[in-house]
Chain A
């Protein structure tokens, strides 16, 4: 480093940065080339007054702004045309194409645990799963409101619980899944409550896709414009996970040998209450369900009983039942899960079948086993 007396020479001599390979930052562009005909170009451009130069620059940035808005509109339009994947589910919700009798709402546990096709076969009632990956009750509430705005009232809402049901979202998981739907009042309000800067997603072109999303959802939107749909992985809203036990739980347990305490927040409780209140107001019966959770994790959660008691208390207050699957044999068989909170495809099938049978037995729905 210090043995470089020629540095200054080199520095003051030829352009030195790699950027200059593109003549970025080089002296007047044309002067670098020294090719025939360039002299006249240089003279022409030299004549450009400051004013016309400024106009050119403003025009160029105007072009960039137009491109940003244009591309943003194309991406939004493309994503809203998708009929498969999570975007397909959201599109069906806001287009009012679902109109199911039984609607399942909740987090990723709802999304991966309830197979509407199995439930529909047993109950004979049109079933759809609007479970939202990576969501807390606040965003589930926002989605439910959007559903009820565009679709007919269901005959039964199944609200699935998890340990974190009384927590609010502290960040927006996969922001791009909301960006095309920010014109929906409930979704925009829900997102802004979690992330006040979300106005940028709505009003600054491509901000929500380029800045906030690392999954290149904008590419999916552009592909959809030319009718290339993402692979279907949602079936009536249900997303099966063909994954075997990951071992994450063992790592988690090793780090938390004394067990864990799940926090609750007053706002999280209020959000849950609002879901039940909303349904009660609209005369929609609600079934609150704590779907299977791997039994060793149940033992590890020190305040699990308090969380469940709180949920029971709220459900009872609104006159809705709560089904707790904590004692289900499904919970004791690790092969049904891929981690402590989520059932895999076979576990979800077993649970969905059991849940549907119970719905019929308990008289919630008619019962009509179809092949």
Chain B
């Protein structure tokens, strides 16, 4: 079920109403049933895959806790292998076999390509990672095994964050299913406002920009340099608003029910360096990779070679996590490269800035760093969004050529959409700039009820009337 669907508009109030009406002991089972219905709205039979993952890690968690010695590690490894095997079969089988057959052709072996035409289950990578983190945390002794299968299944399947995160840790989420959440007006309205902001990002900004981006990236050779440049900047905002919009809706939805999910974004395009960008972008995944890939392969230990290796492995795997395509791997590797080069040249850059009198806190230096980080990020997004490496190369080599200001629109994105797209991006940036400086809600709360409700209702109407409703999935569902 998509958040931006009529079905969800009926589903959520029903679930919330039922949740607060039921006695506490029935609430978690009800959430599990609701989550199943939510997931089965996509492809019903795929719920079985979720059950397989849940069963594997539920059993593994218990045995990891009960067992000592080598058996404990065996349960962990077994659980990781089995869970990843599910991910591999559904997400990567075609990719790896295709590449293997391609390599075999190069050395003269003629192998038939086995093709498993399976539609990727929505959000598979998200709930797989959430499930994996549970077993690892139990193994590390930071989390007690969950013996109640209903609670554990609800932890993996909790519908607000089931298909695109945030990827929760058991320490943050599991215990919340044992807490009693009463209806709290402040919390519920805060959750609703958070959801409204998420819908604004998704429907008004992301899906509007998608019209342009999809047209241009479907065949970049049909467009001039200006259009390629606009599409690339638009994609940066599209993917941010799409994913952070989803996160806002998920966090807000959970908040209504009384659950606190982790934050996933922190104004990523205001970062002044690539490491800072990654501290602000998809935080739940970044921290997952840090804890379960980067640290275990030795990234936190001293030694430059080990560190280099850990960074590149982590970023390459992160790229692969996003999709079974070389463009994603290239995107991951490119970001790892940015990080390495950035770290290696930091001292040199500081000296150059110092020589020309731009000290750390000067506005010009901050602006240069912010813009250069954004441009590097854009370069990464080109590789990420392009259908293949040839298209990516074409965009990179042609975005500065043949700018034609008379030809900006595309077939889907008529020029009447442009002012709304630009205005909504400006509104977004203003909101982000105000973040931490002015508390708009506290200003609103001091207003009498009539103007305050008028503003809230006006915002809802803006989302309704200026949203784009083409039943577009959230980009990250496919990962």
Chain A residues proximal to chain B, CB less than 8 Å: 1-8, 10-11, 14-30, 32-33, 35, 37-38, 41, 45-46, 48, 50, 52-54, 56-57, 60, 63-64, 67-68, 71, 200, 204, 206, 209-212, 214-216, 218
Which residues of B have CB within 8 Å of A60? 453, 456-457
Knowing A41-B446, A210-B469, say if A28 contacts B186 (CB, 8 Å).
yes
- Which of B97-105, B230-238, B278-286, B361-369 contacts its partner? B278-286
Q: Do residues A14 and B436 form an inter-chain contact, with CB atoms below 8 A?
A: yes
Q: Which of B315-337 contact A (CB under 8 A)?
A: 315, 318, 335
Q: Specify the main secondary structure of chain B where it touches its partner.
A: helix
Which residues of A have CB within 8 Å of B188? 53, 57
Q: Do residues A17 and B247 form an inter-chain contact, with CB atoms below 8 A?
A: yes
Q: Do residues B251 and A17 form an inter-chain contact, with CB atoms below 8 A?
A: yes
CA A65 – CA B184 in complex, angstroms?
23
CA A48 – CA B182 in complex, angstroms?
13
Which residues of A have CB within 8 Å of B6? 200, 204
Q: Specify the main secondary structure of chain A where it touches its partner.
A: helix
CA A218 – CA B187 in complex, angstroms?
35
Q: Do residues B446 and A28 form an inter-chain contact, with CB atoms below 8 A?
A: no
A selection of 17 A-B contacts at a CB cut-off of 8 Å is A1-B278, A1-B335, A2-B310, A3-B278, A4-B286, A4-B287, A4-B290, A17-B248, A19-B194, A19-B431, A21-B435, A22-B440, A30-B442, A38-B442, A53-B184, A204-B6, A215-B414
Q: Is B428 an interface residue (CB 8 A)?
A: yes
Knowing A41-B445, A214-B468, say if A24 contacts B453 (CB, 8 Å).
no
- Which of B65-73, B155-163, B261-269, B393-401 contacts its partner? B261-269
CA A29 – CA B315 in complex, angstroms?
39
B396-418 interface mask toward A, CB cutoff 8 Å, 1 = contact, 0 = none? 00000000000000000010110
B243-273 interface mask toward A, CB cutoff 8 Å, 1 = contact, 0 = none? 0100110011001000000111111000000
Q: Do residues B278 and A50 form an inter-chain contact, with CB atoms below 8 A?
A: no
Q: Do residues A22 and B193 form an inter-chain contact, with CB atoms below 8 A?
A: yes
Q: Do residues A10 and B266 form an inter-chain contact, with CB atoms below 8 A?
A: yes
CA A176 – CA B266 in complex, angstroms?
39
Q: Is B185 an interface residue (CB 8 A)?
A: yes
CA A23 – CA B438 in complex, angstroms?
10
Partner of A7, one of B198, B283, B435, B467: B283
Q: Do residues B414 and A1 form an inter-chain contact, with CB atoms below 8 A?
A: no
Partner of B290, one of A1, A14, A15, A27: A1
- A18-B266, A214-B417 known, 19 other contacts, Cβ within 8 Å: A1-B289, A4-B278, A4-B286, A16-B263, A18-B265, A19-B194, A21-B438, A22-B440, A24-B194, A24-B197, A24-B252, A25-B190, A32-B442, A35-B446, A37-B446, A38-B446, A53-B183, A53-B185, A57-B185
Which residues of B have CB within 8 Å of A8? 287
Question: Which chain A residue lies CB-closest to B343?
Answer: A3
Q: Do residues A1 and B315 form an inter-chain contact, with CB atoms below 8 A?
A: yes
CA A270 – CA B289 in complex, angstroms?
62
Q: Is B191 an interface residue (CB 8 A)?
A: yes
CA A28 – CA B186 in complex, angstroms?
6
Q: Which of B170-206 contact A (CB under 8 A)?
A: 182-194, 196-198
- In the assembled complex, the CB of B13 is this many whole angstroms from the nearest CB of chain A, namely 9
Partner of B251, one of A11, A25, A37, A41: A25
Q: Do residues A29 and B445 form an inter-chain contact, with CB atoms below 8 A?
A: yes
Which residues of B have CB within 8 Å of A28? 186-187, 190
Q: Is B460 an interface residue (CB 8 A)?
A: yes
Which residues of B have CB within 8 Å of A211? 469
CA A20 – CA B259 in complex, angstroms?
17
Q: Do residues A56 and B185 form an inter-chain contact, with CB atoms below 8 A?
A: yes
10 closest A-B pairs by CB = A53-B185, A25-B194, A33-B442, A23-B441, A2-B294, A21-B435, A1-B278, A2-B290, A16-B263, A24-B197
Knowing A2-B290, A30-B445, A71-B461, say if A21 contacts B434 (CB, 8 Å).
yes
Q: Is B423 an interface residue (CB 8 A)?
A: no
- In the assembled complex, the CB of B404 is this many whole angstroms from the nearest CB of chain A, namely 16
Q: Do residues B190 and A17 form an inter-chain contact, with CB atoms below 8 A?
A: no
CA A206 – CA B461 in complex, angstroms?
11
